Structure 1
């Protein structure tokens, strides 16, 4: 392999010169002289056996081979930078990086991190809110919580929570709407809508929720929000009724900031899963976090089941 690789300092000098348009600018970025960059580029050209730059009276310009080489180099160097950054992050064994969709981070994970800190004061959490698919190595992520059906090839996956949707509002809104006794009564009131942030088909929305309960839905008042946590903030401020999955409202139901208007629940087609590379839990901090969050989800599910049984008695 070493015999097949070009001199890496020369590659770095060429990439900077190609990107910045000359040896002088490259030298300033690399903290060397323009002559040193020119020497490194010449060394790379000798190794390749081809000219990468046209030397002009004023400056340089890439040859066709130089443009081809620069285009091919960029993703390789970006990948090297990404994996290097990931390894640097993991050099601190205490840091655990977790990513999930913004609403789950804001409404479910953040309220629980105090308990994690009390139980595992040696863990330093790094929390990323993102809707995008995760590349564990490139993104420097240890654990991802994602909504889906699975399977997840190449990953270790644990079921965390299902999505069961119910109608919620503020206590003040409930007090001002004594006519709401069954789901069809909601159609006379402002319904707050998500612009479904996860962008997946068949997610439960108001039309699908009513349809699952056998109730025709023909639209109506429709304020909408880009994330579920914004919809729930509007509901908590008395602006209408929100349709929310149980994981996102458990803390607000517990504190009384939100109330469940009706007992009807509609279960969505997707579930939240805890995902990580198989080797991730070789790090004790990652293993401790995964064990903790799985136990949190199980305890919440048991508490919800008990509350629903109590409500039905």
Structure 2
């Protein structure tokens, strides 16, 4: 019987992970955010790795860090290695928990688009446990244990398993406020509601519909779009509506689209997956239901 030699003891895995993330994201702070640690912890991991290697992997500069030639030569191989490790873990999890689907979604999409669809999904697939994680940025599906993601993508960069619809914006408000707003000029006396993630939508719409006009859009700012939607329903002001997310509120008459001036953006709500989906698989069934 052949005996395989022991693998040589290498540096700690956390140090290698910190190096790979810092190299890929061009900085310790960005790596720390991805790894959910402090920049100081990333710096310590990399310092320990450099001590183990016996050579610097980063140049420390006043405005950040840059890879040394040795660091640059090594970074791509470590990224490929961690991608392969992520694939292996994902395959192992898939065999161990085939009746669970883990979804990552933009908070507004999770709250306003996905959650209303979950009851029908549970009824159709009662054996499946569906978990939802809200995230402002799409996760790295090669590294994080999600089966699919729901995020908006710009049209020029769309890579998706399914496109759920185009992002169309239009001002919306409660019916009693809409009664006093007959044309876009009437917005000059309105209270504007703002969402932090889509801060540019009001200026974009106004510049297109009212070119040359200056309207003060000062108003409350909300970190979550769903909060702004609730305020609009309650009559707090006029919100820039994303019609894909507000179908229930518009159909129920809680929010009224104004002026018949919708604007289609080059932005799409998409489903993405880590790898191609097999026909007839559980994931394919879930995607088909969400895309219906």
With the shorter chain as reference, the TM-score category is 0.5 to 0.7
TM-score, length basis structure 1? 0.64
Post-superposition CA distance 1:78-117 (Å, at most 9, x none):
7787556534432311112222211011111101111111
Q: Would the alpha carbon gap of residues 5 and 114 (structure 1) be closer, same or farther in structure 2, given more than 3 Å must change?
A: farther
The 5 A counterparts of 1:129-278 are 129-147=134-152, 148-152=154-158, 156-174=160-178, 178-196=179-197, 205-215=201-211, 216-278=213-275
Distance 2:163 2:49 in 1: 54
Distance 1:158 1:63 in 2: 42
Give yes or no for contact 1:144–1:276 (8 Å, CA) kept in 2.
yes
Question: Can you give the 5+ residue segments of structure 1 that lack an aligned partner in the other structure?
Answer: 20-61, 296-313
Query: Aligned residue for 1:89?
Result: 93
Give yes or no for contact 2:109–2:245 (8 Å, CA) kept in 1.
yes
Give yes or no for contact 1:104–1:247 (8 Å, CA) kept in 2.
no
Question: Can you give the 5+ residue segments of structure 2 that lack an aligned partner in the other structure?
Answer: 17-47, 58-70
Give yes or no for contact 1:163–1:246 (8 Å, CA) kept in 2.
yes
Provide the aligned length of Structure 1 versus Structure 2.
238
Distance 1:123 1:235 in 2: 35
**Once superposed, what is the RMSD of the aligned Cα atoms?**
3.7
TM-score, length basis structure 2? 0.68
Distance 2:5 2:105 in 1: 39
Give yes or no for contact 1:156–1:277 (8 Å, CA) kept in 2.
no
1:196 CA drift (Å): 2.3
Query: Aligned residue for 1:56?
Result: none
Q: Would the alpha carbon gap of residues 132 and 6 (structure 1) be closer, same or farther in structure 2, given more than 3 Å must change?
A: farther
1:235 CA drift (Å): 0.9
When you count helix as a share of all residues, which structure comes out higher? 1
Quick check: 253-262 or 104-113, which moved more? 253-262
Distance 2:5 2:194 in 1: 56
Equivalent of residue 281 in structure 2, options 269, 281, 284: 284
